[in-house]
Amino acid sequence: MNTIDGIKCLIVDDIPQNLVALEALLQRDGVQFLKAHSAREALELLLLHNDIALALLDVQMPEMNGFDLAALIRGSERTRNIPLIFMTAGTHEQNWQFQGYESGAVDFLYKPIDPDMLSAKVNIFFELHRRKQDLAQQLQERTEALRVNEMFMAVLSHDLRNPLQSIKMAATLLKRQTDASKNEELAERLLGNSQRMARMVEDLLDVTRIRQAGGLRLSVVDMDLRSLSDAAVDDARQCASDRELDYQVLGDTQGRWDGERLAQVVSNIMGNALKHGAKDAPIRVTLDGSQPGELLLTIQNGGTIPPSLLADLFKPFRGGERQPGQSEGLGLGLYIAQQIARAHGGSIQAQSAEGQTRFDIRLPRQPLAHHRQAVL
């Protein structure tokens, strides 16, 4: 979920003392002031910064005055909706006011400016911008929720139907089967498809818990993370005996975690390395407990994840990576793994470049204070 950005306010005045005074007057928590001594500097700042809440423009500036700057701001799709307030130390010329409003200004103020009046006006635009950001974030969250709900329906109508159909077919054959030698094969098919369905259902339940309860609940105990990683490495070596796998453990690997949940994380990352990693490149696993406060588990394999996929790697039901009905999974494994790490107060980060992909799993030795409410 994205957090709301801070408020950005552009101030343009060719007199440095005026910039300092305006910033001091309007200083508020969460507000970033972008100061420009000329129209040219202001245009450069507008190219660098998006989502500016308000621009305060001095009218009388050398080279390009405030009216010309406003015309350029209004002429760009990116900046045309920025509210503009003109300020001038000139005489009260009515033509200037008309020109200012025709340039798209929301107000025209004469210096010396009443500080209380300016603060009140600026507060209105800052509050409007905050509400705009709130609405934009709510729209993003609801759009994402709608996408996830649609994928839930796709899973129910396609992904779960496939193994269920296989179970029905195997059960029908088993019922009609007179050759006892084939019963074991049919039973294995039943078991395999039922296990596949169980994994899908459990993943869907985890996603529901995360989205509705605000996170996964943990059952933490004192444990040695090495025993868990040892088991994952042994399983990987048995599943892919032809793959080179380097394993290293450093320092103290004791801590307090939910072992069952962390086994999900390690199994998922290791499984991805085996499945998607380059077959001719080694998989390197390092469990580093040399730091007093946290452990770092690194899993690295050959191959590069395309940037278009890397950006959405930890999103549920990653679009474009899979289609409903494919048997390899629901695209939920990395999302759930990330949420498990976060529930422990840790993180998972992925890096992929120059033919190598690496996942860093960081875990504090003790659940952090602000995560205790998620821990049983």
Number of Cβ within 10 Å of residue 277's Cβ equals: 20
Better pLDDT: 139 or 167:
139
> Quick check: bond before 364 cis, omega within 30?
no
Least confident range from 129-138, 162-171, 255-264: namely 162-171
pLDDT value for 251: 94
Closest CA to 122 of 189, 196, 55: 55
Whether pLDDT at 373 is above 50: no
For residue 296, what pLDDT is reported? 96
Rounded mean pLDDT, 335-352: 90
- Please state whether the predicted TM-score (pTM) of the whole model is above 0.85: no
CATH number of 7-137: 3.40.50.2300
The per-residue pLDDT for range 165-200, each reduced to its tens digit, is 777 777 777 777 767 677 777 777 777 777 777 767
* pLDDT band for position 374 (cuts 50, 70, 90): very low
Banded model confidence at residue 113, pLDDT cuts 50, 70, 90 = confident
Cβ density class 24-62: b for 16+ within 10 Å, e for less = eebeeeebebbbbbbbeebbebbeeeeebbbbbbbbebe
CATH architecture of 221-374: 2-Layer Sandwich (3.30)
Q: What is the pLDDT of residues 81-94, one digit of tens each?
A: 889 988 887 655 66
* Contact of 233 with 268, CB cutoff 8 Å: no
pLDDT at 306: 87
Task: Report CA dihedral (32, 35, 40, 44) to the nearest 10 degrees.
Answer: -30
8 Å CB contact between 12 and 79: no
In the predicted structure, residue 126 carries a pLDDT above the cut 70: yes
Is residue 226 pLDDT above 80, yes or no? Answer: yes
Confidence of residue 153 (pLDDT cuts 50, 70, 90): low
